[in-house]
């Protein structure tokens, strides 16, 4: 039996990023984790994580939103922040999102829902967007060959901006998705953001 601490944030959001980075750094040391993958639309979350783990032997992968995610053809990562990440040796992965991809276009066009979107919505039932995002970027990084599938990694996600969720994963490739294992929760918000009607 193993007893470990989990950090629960009262509210989701970017105000949790620094505390999250500290918790990730501690778990890296405890488990000898060598790979971290983080959703980081602007690069800020990845840079905060880098400050927390820069003295460890860790490969850090930043995953911004793909080009056209919001609109237009631009990636969410500015040239300035891309340069800052690259100067620190942070890998940058820009690609289709594993738990939406073409399926999201089918939903928008025909008003249906895909199996992939059901998986995504199910992962959100764990109380936050970040669990889904962590699983998603873990798969994306594995498919790109940037994280291993034969040892544990840490995946970081968030709600909108910033990082508020971190999980320990045994990642898997997209074609073997159900081999993926969420092994530990390091930190997460206790609940999803409240909708306007709930406020």
List pLDDT tens digits, range 140-184. Answer: 999 999 999 999 999 999 988 899 999 999 999 999 999 999 999
Q: Is residue 173 part of a domain?
A: yes
Distance (Å, whole) CA 111 – CA 133: 23
**CATH number of the domain within which 128 lies:** 3.40.1380.20
Q: Is residue 195 part of a domain?
A: no
How far from chain centre, in Å, is Cα 73?
22
The total domain count for the chain is 1
23-35 pLDDT, tens digit per residue, is 999 999 999 999 9
Is residue 198 pLDDT above 50, yes or no?
Answer: no
- Residue 13 structural domain: 8-190
Distance (Å, whole) CA 99 – CA 132: 8
This prediction has a pTM of 0.91
Q: Is residue 60 part of a domain?
A: yes
Q: How many CB atoms lie within 10 A of CB 87?
A: 8
SS (H, E, C) 116-145: HHHHHHHHHCCCCHHHHHHHHHHHHHHHCC
The candidate with the shortest Cα–Cα distance to 85, out of 57, 123, 45, is 45
Q: Is residue 186 part of a domain?
A: yes
Q: Is residue 45 part of a domain?
A: yes
Q: How many residues does the chain have?
A: 199
Q: Is residue 198 part of a domain?
A: no
Q: Is residue 154 part of a domain?
A: yes
Q: Is residue 2 part of a domain?
A: no
């Amino acid at each position: 039996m193993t007893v470990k601490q989990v950090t629960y944030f009262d509210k989701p959001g970017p105000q949790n990023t620094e505390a999250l980075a500290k918790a990730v750094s501690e778990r890296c040391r405890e488990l000898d984790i060598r790979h971290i993958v983080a959703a980081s639309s602007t690069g800020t979350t990845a840079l905060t994580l880098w400050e927390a783990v820069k003295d460890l032997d860790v490969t850090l992968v930043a995953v911004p939103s793909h080009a056209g995610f919001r609109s237009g053809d631009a990636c969410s990562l500015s040239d300035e922040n891309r340069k800052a990440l690259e100067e620190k040796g942070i890998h940058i992965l820009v690609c289709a999102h594993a738990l939406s991809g073409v399926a999201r276009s089918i939903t928008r066009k025909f008003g249906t829902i895909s199996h992939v979107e059901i998986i995504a919505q199910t992962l959100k039932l764990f109380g936050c967007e970040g669990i889904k995002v962590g699983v998603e970027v873990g798969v994306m990084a594995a498919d790109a060959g940037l994280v291993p599938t034969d040892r544990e990694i840490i995946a970081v996600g968030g709600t909108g901006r910033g990082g508020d969720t971190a999980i320990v994963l045994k990642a898997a490739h997209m074609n073997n998705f159900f081999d993926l294992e969420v092994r530990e929760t390091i930190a997460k918000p206790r609940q999803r953001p409240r909708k306007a009607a709930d406020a």
